[in-house]
Amino acid sequence: MSEALIAVALVWVAVSGTAVVLTPDPLRQAFVAGFFGLGLAFLYLSLQAGDVALSQIVVGAIALPLIVLLSLAKVRKERE
């Protein structure tokens, strides 16, 4: 059972990582990167590393999208 969970998590990480790289628009990339971070957190949780999974959730779903989106908003505003 736990092997199935780890396998699902690894596939999720691989697919969403590729999707992040193949997304052309930075704004959409930020959302796919958040999904990728969630997959990483699920992988760490299925490998029974609770602290690391919590850290990944807070950084990958809260701090990173915030910084990326605010930077994109600033860059787009400058361009107008």
Residues 8-67 binding another protein (CB under 8 A) are 47, 50-51, 53-55, 58-59, 62-63, 66-67
Nearest-approach distance from CB 36 to another protein, in angstroms: 18
Q: Is 53 strand, coil or helix?
A: helix
Find the binder of another protein among 14, 15, 27, 70 (CB under 8 A). 70
63/47 Cα distance (integer angstroms): 23
24/58 Cα distance (integer angstroms): 25
Residue 25 DSSP label = S
Binding site for another protein (CB under 8 A): 3, 6, 47, 50-51, 53-55, 58-59, 62-63, 66-67, 70-71, 73-74, 77
